[in-house]
Amino acid sequence: MSKLRLKTTALCAIVAFALSLSSPPAALAHKGAMGIVKERMDKFEASEKATKRIKQALSRGDTAVVTAEAELLVSWAREMDNYFPENSNQTPSEARDEIWLQWDDFIGAIQSFNNASNALMDAAASEDPRAMRGAFKEMTKSCKSCHQQFRED
């Protein structure tokens, strides 16, 4: 191996290592979380993964995956408020205090997510790609809206 190629390989390895230290995997974001905070962080992570799988399934026209993942999101919407009892905002929670200070608004945001997730399931049942994409867009809007108001970034 030439010296130039060896130096390039070593430099790439160093850069890759440095990048791995500066941007830890999502799993490390939950480090130190316990109890209900960890449980809800895990649920949100699962819903994020479901959303990504739906996006991929939409590009393939796979309505079965869209339906299955939308069912997971509907289930999460139905139980989400149970994962936010009072005094459950300890580090590393990303929840804002506004959740508990504006509880009715938070419940409204959850209901919007529930409605949008149900609409996505209905669209998947119709097997209409345009309807599914529209419903998916509305569902992700409900997520973003809630995060803007109730989640620390």
pLDDT of residue 106: 98
Please write the tens of the pLDDT for every residue from 126-138: 999 999 999 999 9
Instruction: Indicate the burial class of 138 (C-beta count within 10 angstroms; 0-12, 13-18, 19 or more).
Output: middle
Q: Could you give the C-alpha distances from 108 to 114, 130, 132, in angstroms and in order?
A: 10, 27, 23
Cis peptide before 92 (omega within 30 of 0): yes
Asked if 113 and 77 count as a contact pair (C-beta separation under 8 A), the reply is yes
- Confidence band for 29, pLDDT divided at 50, 70 and 90: low
Question: 20 vs 6, 31, 78, 147, CA distance in Å?
Answer: 21, 16, 36, 26
User: Where does residue 31 fall: left (phi above 0), alpha (psi -120 to 50 degrees), or beta otherwise?
Assistant: beta
The pLDDT value given to residue 36: 95
